[in-house]
Amino acid sequence: MAITRAEVAHLAKLARLALTENELDHYAQQLDVILGSVARVSEVATADVKPTSHPIPLENVFRDDVVTPSLGAEAVLAGAPAAEDERFRVPRILDES
């Protein structure tokens, strides 16, 4: 399935690209190679291969969650520039009520 110069010119026109005669020849050759590669991949027998999202199995590399002592609300809010009702006070950024 070879792509022609006319097809490349048509694609260039649709994409609003101004291509020279040399560029039309150059891109026709390149697109022909790309389309040939896609056609070759399509020929691979995949009927017996189940679809996967990754070629190798993935494993969770995170550590297990372990409960440890943490800072209390007073200690955390002591380092904040502003606090109100045991929460961080931040400037309003939207005009919502």
* Confidence tier at 96 by pLDDT (50, 70, 90): low
> Cα–Cα distance between 48 and 2 in angstroms, integer?
30
> Cα–Cα distance between 55 and 28 in angstroms, integer?
33
Domain limits of the chain? 5-42
Query: 11-68 pLDDT, tens per residue?
Result: 999 999 999 999 999 999 999 999 999 888 888 877 887 888 888 888 888 888 899 9
Q: 5-42 in CATH: which number?
A: 1.10.20
**pTM given for the model:** 0.46
Question: Helix %, strand %, coil % for the chain, to 5?
Answer: 40, 5, 55
Query: What does the block give as tokens for 91?
Result: 């400037």
